[in-house]
A and B are shown apart, each in its own frame.
Chain A
Amino acid sequence: MTVSQISVFANSRPGHLSRVLDRFEEAGVSVRGFSASDTGEYGILRFVVDRPEEALEALREDGCACTVTPVLCLKLVDEPGELARVMGVLARCGINVVYSYSMISTYIVLSTTDPDRARALLASEPVELITQEDIARFSAARQGKGIER
């Protein structure tokens, strides 16, 4: 079974991603995973949502350039080598993975034009920032070992 991913054309400018998300919120659409990639001038925003048809309709009403693409969603077991194993299956069959992103949308990565300022701004908001050490700690905890500090 494939999942219907919503893709949106957006110029690389402040406010575009949030405008799309506002439309989703108004339409009662919940984002379960997303990715935003750019070429410097324009980008493609990709979303996995709970109600793709409503999402698409809301965006089209707004005059957005958007489309639906069938994609695969996989749930991996959190063990070392698991990502490599799945990709290996496709690689051996000669299937190219054009792009891939992680779907758990509560841990996200952002690349911004001003990382220091963005960090300072978000630090004063009710949102948790994750450090490099946190990531190492999660990984170590998963493997049942403590991390030496």
Chain B
Amino acid sequence: MSASATMDVREKGGALAAAAAGRFDLLPVYKPEIERAPREQIEAVQLAKLKETVAYAYERVPYYRTKMDEMGVAPADIQTLADVRRLPFTDKAVLRDTFPFGLFAVPLDEIRELHSSSGTTGKPVVVGYTDDDMAMWSECIARLVQMAGVVPGDVAQMAFGYGMFTGGFGLHYGLQRLGCAMIPAGAGNTERHIQMIEDYGTTVLVATPSYAMHICEVGEKMGYDWEASPLRVGLFGGEPCPPGLKAEIERRMHIVCTDNYGLTEVMGPGVSGECLAERYQQHIAEDHFLWEVIDPETGEPVGEGEMGELVLTPLGKQGIPVLRYRTHDLTAVHTEPCACGRTLARMDKVRSRSDDMLIIRGTNVFPSQVEDVLTGIEEVTPHYHIIVETKDGMDFLIVETELRPEAFSDSFETMDALRRKIAEKLKATLLVAPTVRLVEPGGIERAIGKAKHVDDRRAK
């Protein structure tokens, strides 16, 4: 087997082999003139588009005009990128309060598609895309799927639900834009998904990571040979992808998996995507999104590369020109060029939100911390479930984790020692002592949509 033959991105394992050898020149880049542009050039594009966007929002959206007038800031005051801080923040409540079309900047006859976010409380948020918005959205997706090694001619199978959720259609359009054949299979019917991969020679699977894991396990049970399968790339989204889970799917399905980031309020998927050089970070489409990282308490910017809340201003978006959208997602952004050759800034993958933090006996606990600890313990799988209960006024944290079959021993003493070890490791990180429950293999539910990891049973 010659080294060059295995580095062909069209071959199974080729993209990972090229990345491992540092041969990023072998991996395709969709729009090198911007993805590899010098920082000054990226910032010049951003500034020109920011000025236009602010003027457009001020002229067309009464909410922003009133807000900016109140704050005493005019579109002409935006002279540098730092001037973005003079603009008002937008949070989800504004989009909800103006439901359905209050923030739309164009009449509905210029809107080609509506989507809405899966609002967990109250009304959903509805967004609309013009022709230009659709073109920009599909280009953002085309870029990030190429980052993952997808090439024109690939056959892509959709395992997201379509509907109002932006993930389904977003990836669908972007993959078509790149030149792939789409199979709009949709969510569910796992056996049929596996059959279609085999029948149609599917090379790319779009799924949530937890559903991809489910497809993997069902395939293994059916005796499907993932190593011999045509499937080469997994594109994940819809929920955060734990590194341990991704690595396990790559190993068991013999595919390369990347995930991307986005949210309906600013566009949908495509805001940023993972390249094969920095597997814990994602490149932001900076010519379409101006990012800021702020202290969620004060609203002030944090230092370069420090962790804070991500704030996004879509640049040149016509349907809804959102200014400074507060994502509540915690991340850090890095601007030095990447080994993959891209100069677009990289954000650390979002592992926690400022609002999914659990406060247990006065201590802040993030589900992602639990996941990180469990990923480092070889006797258990990365699947977990957190239960918070109150008993006699005290909060109790219960962590359920799945035993790996090979870690089982015919001794309560050994099993209890494992439980104690997991509890101690969790306590060292969380600073709260949890009760650990061992669950049999496969005993933790694999969610098809967003994996539900937390069950907070405390009275609200």
Contacts and interface: CB of A to CB of B under 8 A. Distances in A.
Interface of A: 5, 7, 9-11, 16, 37, 39, 41-42, 44, 46, 60, 63-67, 69, 98
B403 interface: yes
A39 B410 contact: no
Given A64-B405, A66-B405, A9 B440 contact: yes
Interface pairs A-B: 3 shortest CB-CB: A65-B408, A7-B410, A69-B410
A67 B408 contact: yes
A97 to B, nearest CB: 13
B409 interface: yes
Contacts of A10: 440
A65 B440 contact: yes
Most buried by B among A9, A39, A42: A9
Given A5-B410, A9-B440, 15 more contacts: A7-B410, A9-B438, A11-B439, A37-B412, A41-B437, A41-B438, A42-B415, A44-B412, A63-B221, A63-B405, A63-B441, A63-B442, A65-B408, A67-B408, A69-B410
B442 A67 contact: no
Contacts of B442: 63
Most buried by A among B437, B439, B442, B443: B443
A46 B410 contact: yes
A42 B441 contact: no
Given A39-B412, A42-B415, A11 B405 contact: no
Interface in B397-430: 403-405, 407-412, 415-416
Nearest to B406: A65
A42 B438 contact: yes
Contacts of A11: 439-440, 443
A12 B68 CA distance: 61
22 contacts: A7-B410, A9-B408, A9-B415, A11-B439, A11-B443, A39-B412, A41-B437, A41-B438, A42-B437, A42-B439, A42-B440, A44-B415, A46-B410, A60-B405, A64-B405, A65-B403, A65-B404, A65-B408, A66-B405, A66-B408, A67-B409, A98-B411
Contacts of B404: 65
Contacts of A60: 405
Nearest to B416: A39
Contacts of A9: 403, 408, 415, 438, 440
Contacts of B405: 60, 63-66
Contacts of B443: 11
B223 to A, nearest CB: 10
A26 to B, nearest CB: 15
